[in-house]
Structure 1
Amino acid sequence: MSRIDYRGLAALDAVIDHGSFDKAAAALSITQSAVSQRIRMLENSAGELLIVRSQPPVATEAGQRLIAHYRQVQLLEAALTEFRHAGPGAAPLPEIAIAINADSAATWLQEAVAPLMGSGDCMLHIRLDDQDHTLTMLREGRVFGCVTSETAQVAGTTSTPLGAMRYVCVSSPAFAARWFPDGFTADAVQHAPALHFDRKDMLQTRFVAQRTGHTGRVPHHSLSSSDGYVRFIEAGFAYGMLPLLQCEAQLKAGTLVDLAPGHVLDVPLTWHIWDIQTPFTRTLSDNIVATARKWLL
């Protein structure tokens, strides 16, 4: 590709970001046929397929690389405008997307992003995924940075250790008395209902195998909500792994009990970012590193 067509890149990015050609057209204020034409021209120039026309559309590896390039250029262009003037014709606000695990979002993230989001000078898009999978979004160029448990290096990025999030296995006192009268045993976990965050959640599986040696399936519910997860466990519906940051008060109050006292699961977290230096990305990155190290082990 000798010369990059940025109108085509904008269309490619919009289709993947919005999940369809018609929504991309609405976002770009053009027709759906215009979106398709721009992407076809971009593919002809690249000499390969950039989008798999599925539902929703999926970027190919080459498409992911181009989207990553486009979003990095957007960040750098936003940095060229030091002052933003209000009113008609004002430059659009710079946007930064990050991926983070739900437990971090429910505990320390708000403090980290408060200065940036509170200023109103930058729009932050926070995407949630399991800490074992957020790095995929970075590789695909869908986010500028991510908090992840993975240590693999991605070319063109910088990684900074944040510390470890400590998890404990908890339930309500009544649930513990009913399902774990003899403690956290291999037999008990094969009958007691657990609560998983989603299908990617492997924390419980790892902890059960570590503590009991049981590596088979366990009965479980699923609930993809950090706040709801705590409430459902407090209500006695299941047991589950919670960050100590999120349940320390309940353990002290006695509304939750530790099912395996003295045993925890520490998950080291790392901040990965593309090597893009702008005032906004530096502020975001510095705040995330400082706040995480304040709260994590």
Structure 2
Amino acid sequence: MDLQLDQLRALNAAVTEGTFDAAARSLRVTPSAISQRIKALEDAAGRILLQRTKPVRATESGLAVLRLARQIELLAGDTARELGDTGQEPTIDRPIRLPIAVNADSLETWVMPALSRASSGVCFEIHREDEEHTTRLLRDGTVMAAITATAAAVQGCKVERLGAMRYRPMANPDFARTWFGDGATAKTYAAAPVVLFDRKDDLQDRHMRRRSRQPIDPPRHYIPSSTGFGDAVRIGLGWGMLPDLQTRADQAAGRLVPIDGDSYIDVPLYWQQWRLESPALSGIATAIAAAAADALLR
């Protein structure tokens, strides 16, 4: 296949921006040019690469070409920075864009300081996703790197263990006295309202399974925000599994208490990234590893 760089850039921009018009603005060309380049790319590949929906979506074949397009875009950006490096911060028209998948709790606690140490020539596109599901975004080429709970490397990626986040079942003191005054048992867990991040959040159920051989289905609140989740537990909406990184001050001040003794769950975290020799990607990996070493359990 004869795949042209401008065609690959058009595909990447269309999927990233969601429409041909937005892709055209991003690349400073006309929507007609975007359409022609993608049609030429599909002719070269011999198959349909995009679903012309709103937003546009890559087909299964399109995902394979999209991964190539984003790898080339990253390497081209690295090369532009290297050629422009004269001992000062390089000035380039298009900064390197790094899409990364991060779980909400890591994003709210220790990841942002790591990203702040990145070069000014890098722009981040953060995809917030549960750590159990970030590998899907790596497989389909949506992101170049991810914080994941999976130790097995996605094909074409390399993996490094970062550490673990420790979660404990916590509640507002009044809530704990009302619902767990007689202790944390299968019966009290079945009655007490619980807070979950979303319907993919299994951490609370994983903890409850330790207390019962039967499924427990208490009243559930879904709060899809790390900050909002913690606030819901603090005001007594329900109990929830909260990371130690978010609760030390609350426990010291008596705003939160553990409801099940010293029970906890350690969630291991790994850094997975495309197996590319990219200074930009390597720099982010180094910053993430350093921040994780300071924040996570080893």
In the superposition, the TM-score normalised over structure 1's length comes to: 0.90
Q: Provide Cα deviations, 1:85-118, integer angstroms capped at 9, x if missing partner.
A: 99xx9432222121110111111112322211xx
1:75 touches 1:95 (CA, 8 Å); kept in 2? yes
Q: 2:116: which partner in 1? A: 114
Q: Residues 11-160 of structure 1 correspond to what in structure 2 (within 5 A)?
A: 11-80=10-79, 81-82=81-82, 83=84, 90-116=92-118, 119-160=119-160
Residues 206-215 or 70-79, more deviating: 206-215
CA 1:189 to 1:21, structure 2 compared with 1: closer, same or farther past 3 Å? farther
Q: 1:291: which partner in 2? A: 291
CA 1:79 to 1:175, structure 2 compared with 1: closer, same or farther past 3 Å? same
1:16 positional shift: 2.0
CA 1:31 to 1:211, structure 2 compared with 1: closer, same or farther past 3 Å? farther
**Could you tell me how far apart the structure 2 residues matched to 1:31 and 1:208 are?**
56
Q: Does residue 1:207 correspond to 2:203, yes or no?
A: no
1:208 touches 1:214 (CA, 8 Å); kept in 2? no
Q: Provide Cα deviations, 1:41-88, integer angstroms capped at 9, x if missing partner.
A: 2222212222234443332222112111111111111222323699xx
Q: 1:244: which partner in 2? A: 244
3-state SS, counterpart of residue 211 of structure 2: helix
1:280 positional shift: 2.0
3-state SS, counterpart of residue 108 of structure 2: helix
3-state SS, counterpart of residue 260 of structure 2: coil
3-state SS, counterpart of residue 212 of structure 1: coil
Aligned-residue CA RMSD (Å): 2.1
3-state SS, counterpart of residue 162 of structure 2: strand
2:193 touches 2:239 (CA, 8 Å); kept in 1? yes
Q: 2:193: which partner in 1? A: 193
Q: What letter matches 2:123 in structure 1?
A: M
**Could you tell me how far apart the structure 1 residues matched to 2:273 and 2:157 are?**
5
1:132 positional shift: 0.6
3-state SS, counterpart of residue 211 of structure 1: coil
Residues 12-21 or 253-262, more deviating: 12-21
CA 1:90 to 1:147, structure 2 compared with 1: closer, same or farther past 3 Å? closer
1:149 positional shift: 0.4
**Could you tell me how far apart the structure 2 residues matched to 1:262 and 1:37 are?**
62
**Could you tell me how far apart the structure 2 residues matched to 1:221 and 1:27 are?**
40
Q: What letter matches 1:294 in structure 2?
A: D
Q: What letter matches 1:13 in structure 2?
A: N
CA 1:24 to 1:191, structure 2 compared with 1: closer, same or farther past 3 Å? farther
Q: What letter matches 2:265 in structure 1?
A: L
1:84 touches 1:90 (CA, 8 Å); kept in 2? no
Residues 216-225 or 240-249, more deviating: 216-225
